Amino acid sequence: MTTTTTQTETATPQVAPIRFETSVNYDEAPVNGFPYKYANYLPHFIPGLQPPLQEFEHHDPGARADPSKAALLKASGITVNEITPATGTEIHGIQLSSLTDAQKDELALLAAERGVVVFRGQDFADIGPERQRAFGAHFGPLHVHQHGGHVKDFPELLPVYRDFKAGSVDNEIKNNVSSIKWHSDMSYEINGMGTTIFFSLSTPVSGGDTLYLSTTAAYNALSETYRTRLHGLQATHSGYQQAQVAENKERYIREPIETVHPIVRTHPATGTKSLYVNRLYTRRIVGLKEEESASILDFLYNHIEHGQDWHIRVHWTPGTVVVYDNRVTQHSALRDFQVKEGETRRHMLRITPQGERPRFDGP
């Protein structure tokens, strides 16, 4: 059984996809003497604007899961380990590609509870884009990014690719002292992102890790008085800056939007509350003057980003897949690896189901 959510379909323009420029010449030169195994996952884009996304109703698969999660966590041969008390669970001994629908529902609930679930030794990168897309669609309608990058013929599959030429400069952080860019994916969209799948195709031996944190634990660490003051406040989230700093604006497929969301949101499957502001996309608190808004947001950003009690770091190895819930986490890639022209790359793939429009259920 798959999720019952529906979303207005967006017609795909009948224009041939164009592949991103890369430092590695995949057409003429094999990589390390062999054709690149994941060349069909290189990023493409289709020129032309598409209509804006429309709000839809979402029924989260985690809400229908067995609370004990016995089908997933008590499967034969499985081992389950906490990464930290606050967030992160690592699982060995089961293949995501073989999960039943009931196990997928339980995975959605586990991700909601633990924030980040790390699977090792997976065959998921090799099951093909059709099955990967179908797996993601179990958790909700699949998001297509406004910047237009996608696997050829699969707009719902987002390659995150970086080499000496492609993505070598990130304009959002190029003037920063580090590569850290904490955020929840596309929080400016009307329907937020939900149970998200992210996995490696080709990564540097050293560097290129991903940092994750729990915004549920960050919320719970605040005093009850301060939490109560945040309840009911709303803030704007904007996709305009992401679009403005882009070097390849011809790739964008939708006009950027700005949306209002609650600062504290309630998870539909667990009922837990989490902070829903991030430095990358959140702009200001509705109804407050600029200085008032900035003082609260700056405190929350620093609180969320610096609380090592609720942070983890994932090192990517072949066969690693991370399932994380965008509603209760933030993350940042690390661009700390040395890039050699024509050789080094960090090639990942993200499948991003959308969830409900963020809401706050009092008190």
Residue-by-residue DSSP string for 217-247: HHHHTS-HHHHHHHTT-EEEEESHHHHHT-S
Which range is least confidently modeled, 40-44, 115-119, 130-134, 224-228? 40-44
pLDDT at 9: 43
Q: What average pLDDT score do residues 123-127 get?
A: 98
Query: What kind and span of H or E run contains 313?
Result: strand 311-314
Q: Identify the residue with better confidence: 253 or 185.
A: 185
The amino acid that residue 358 corresponds to is P
Q: Say which residue the tokens 């072949």 belong to.
A: 318
pLDDT at 41: 95
Which range is least confidently modeled, 83-87, 123-127, 206-210? 206-210
Q: Please list the alpha-helical segments (H only) found in 33-95.
A: 70-73
User: Taking 80 as the threshold, does the pLDDT of residue 132 lie above it?
Assistant: yes
In degrees and rounded to multiples of 5, residue 136 shows phi and psi of -65, -35
> From edge to edge, which strands make up the β-sheet containing 157-163?
79-82, 89-92, 116-119, 321-325, 195-202, 345-351, 157-163
In the chain, where the domains are located: 59-354
Which range is least confidently modeled, 21-35, 58-72, 249-263, 324-338? 21-35
pLDDT at 31: 57
β pairing state of 89-92 and 116-119? parallel
Q: Identify the residue with better confidence: 258 or 162.
A: 258
Q: End-to-end alpha-carbon separation of the chain, Å?
A: 34
pLDDT at 10: 47
3-class DSSP state for residue 196?
A: strand
pLDDT at 149: 86
pLDDT-based confidence at residue 98 (cuts at 50, 70, 90): very high
Average pLDDT, the chain: 90
pLDDT at 252: 80
Candidates 259, 258, 265; CA nearest to 232 is 265
The amino acid that residue 43 corresponds to is P
Asked whether the beta carbons of 144 and 10 are under 8 A apart, the reply is yes
pLDDT at 8: 42
pLDDT at 12: 46
pLDDT at 27: 75
Which range is least confidently modeled, 16-20, 32-36, 85-89, 292-296? 32-36
User: What is the pTM assigned to this prediction?
Assistant: 0.92
User: Taking 80 as the threshold, does the pLDDT of residue 14 lie above it?
Assistant: no
Q: Identify the residue with better confidence: 4 or 226.
A: 226
pLDDT-based confidence at residue 13 (cuts at 50, 70, 90): very low
- The proportion of the chain whose per-residue pLDDT surpasses 90, expressed as a percent, equals 73
pLDDT at 117: 98
pLDDT at 205: 85
pLDDT at 241: 87
Distance, CA of 7 to CA of 245 (rounded, Å): 29
Asked whether the beta carbons of 59 and 43 are under 8 A apart, the reply is no
What number does CATH give the domain 59-354? 3.60.130.10
Query: What kind and span of H or E run contains 322?
Result: strand 321-325
